[in-house]
Amino acid sequence: MDKQPNSPEARDIQYHLHSYTNARRHQEIGPMILEKGDGIYVEDNNGKRYIEGLAGLWSVGVGFSEQRLVDAATKQMQKLPYYHNFGHKSHGPVIDLAEKLVTMAPVPMSKAFFTNSGSEANDTAIKMLWYRSNALGQPQRKKIISRKRGYHGVTIAAASLTGLPANQMSFDLPIANILHTSCPHYWREALPGETEEQFTDRMAADLEAMILAEGPDTIAAFIGEPIMGAGGVVVPPDSYWGKIQAVLKKYDILLIADEVICGFGRTGNMFGSETFKMQPDIMVFSKQLSSSYLPISALVVNEKVFAPLADESNRIGTFGHGYTGGAHPVAAAVANENIKIIEENNLVANAREVGAHMQKRLRELADHPLVGEVRGKGLIAAVELVADKQTKEPLEKAGNLGLMANAALLNNGVICRNMLDTVAFCPPLIINEKQVDEMVGAFAKALDTVAAEVKK
């Protein structure tokens, strides 16, 4: 690290509090500063080039140098750089985007509402559900069921939905009325001798037991990512979502599909809900909606959700919720162009085909002494590392192997992310097979480096 007093690194340490970072450790080691992007690659301020193996934060679908998105933003910035959607106001880009999202949804939807991040969108979903319950004369129906290891954001309500300890410890979370049921990770959570089918039956039974214990008429909705992202890229067993939805239907509980990571092609279909045959009442989008070139998120709701909201807003005189930057015309213009690029360049098919190659190449590492499980679908995958393949135990404490592998991978020119001992792969949707081979090759080399260190 450049420790000159006026260097960017020194100034970053001096003035910048980072997300998801050990603030004291940061004062010791400083930042990695990125300066350029080109396709699936980014470059740091020392001129070193990396494959961005996590697409930024699971999000830059079209890569880091898509001129069409730059042009869409520039054109809209020159025409109408900002406007809002409060008090009956609207503009072309957001009308186009709302129509596109509602009509492209895999199940019938009614309206789109715009926010700035996945966290804000999930907070909004909770507020909508509470508002709806009051509109229906069901003030007791306020509880939301999420899952252990689920990730839904970091605002107060969204972080409460999130089922990861670091997102709640010392923040006084979760808030009331948020519940967490079992995580559908068969490899890690199955009981001895339990088949996948028995495991999914148990997941559904756990959910039903929680609903009955709380009172079915107190539960507003169940929220879940089709594939869990930050919780470790947990791919549920094939029958999981069908069995969960049967329980929800039995008790008239709404389903929210958090498509923030899975949406817009990641799993090899346009939406994760299609991949897993989900029938959500609300779908939440962000990240690949604009390839994160600008902050934008959205939720689409069906008529069952919208009609009571509309009636209640009529009774009160307004739907008293919204954001200054929600429905931003420049972000909406970029999102519209981004979706066009995904469709015109067949990036969903690319995620399916190149994704199959990535899954195959990663699974070739399954016999490595440090590899416990390889999992994934389309262009999202994870490799969970263990010190003992039989017991699935970590090296001394959870996270040690993941940190070592991530550091070795960075040294080999690939940026990824470890969640404890799970190393995630989620490259831009434009990646090709040769680039996948380069990325997996760097990871194989990193595993050998870590194995040698462990042996020492």
- 375 and 309 in one domain? no
Question: Could you give the CA distance from residue 104 to residue 106 in angstroms, rounded to a whole number?
Answer: 6
The answer to whether residue 375 sits within a structural domain is: yes
Q: Give CA 210 to chain center in angstroms.
A: 25
How is residue 225 written in tokens? Answer: 């990512």
The answer to whether residue 226 sits within a structural domain is: yes
- 219 and 252 in one domain? yes
Chain segment 327-353, per-residue pLDDT in tens:
999 999 999 999 999 999 999 999 999
- 363 and 408 in one domain? yes
Question: Could you give the CA distance from residue 20 to residue 307 in angstroms, rounded to a whole number?
Answer: 39
- 392 and 364 in one domain? yes
Give CA separation, 13 vs 1, 2, 47, 133, 360, in Å: 11, 11, 21, 47, 41
Q: Which residues contact 92 (CB under 8 A, 6 or more apart)?
A: 329
- 194 and 150 in one domain? yes
Let me know: does 123 contact 117? Beta carbons within 8 Å: no
Closest CA to 420 of 436, 434, 435, 405: 405
Q: What is the CATH number of the domain that holds 132?
A: 3.40.640.10
Number of domains in the chain: 2
Question: Could you give the CA distance from residue 226 to residue 349 in angstroms, rounded to a whole number?
Answer: 19
- 192 and 46 in one domain? no
The answer to whether residue 247 sits within a structural domain is: yes
Chain segment 21-77, per-residue pLDDT in tens:
999 999 999 999 999 999 999 999 999 999 999 999 999 999 999 999 999 999 999
The answer to whether residue 6 sits within a structural domain is: no
Per-residue pLDDT tens, the chain, 456 aa: give them: 666 889 999 999 999 999 999 999 999 999 999 999 999 999 999 999 999 999 999 999 999 999 999 999 999 999 999 999 999 999 999 999 999 999 999 999 999 999 999 999 999 999 999 999 999 999 999 999 999 999 999 999 999 999 999 999 999 999 999 999 999 999 999 999 999 999 999 999 999 999 999 999 999 999 999 999 999 999 999 999 999 999 999 999 999 999 999 999 999 999 999 999 999 999 999 999 999 999 999 999 999 999 999 999 999 999 999 999 999 999 999 999 999 999 999 999 999 999 999 999 999 999 999 999 999 999 999 999 999 999 999 999 999 999 999 999 999 999 999 999 999 999 999 999 999 999 999 999 999 999 999 988
pTM of the entire predicted model: 0.96
- 166 and 123 in one domain? yes
- 87 and 45 in one domain? no
Which of 344, 375, 400 is the last residue before a domain boundary? 344
Q: Could you tell me whether strands 380-385 and 371-377 are parallel, antiparallel, or unpaired per DSSP bridges? A: antiparallel
Give residue 446's domain range: 32-62+346-455
Q: Give CA 276 to chain center in angstroms.
A: 16
Find the helix packing angle between 433-455 and 347-363, rounded to 10°.
30
- 363 and 314 in one domain? no
- 312 and 221 in one domain? yes
Give CA separation, 376 vs 360, 380, 445, 447, in Å: 10, 6, 21, 19
- 300 and 166 in one domain? yes
Which of 320, 344, 368 is the last residue before a domain boundary? 344
- 216 and 365 in one domain? no
Residue 12: exposed, middle, or buried by beta-carbon count in 10 A (0-12, 13-18, 19+)? middle
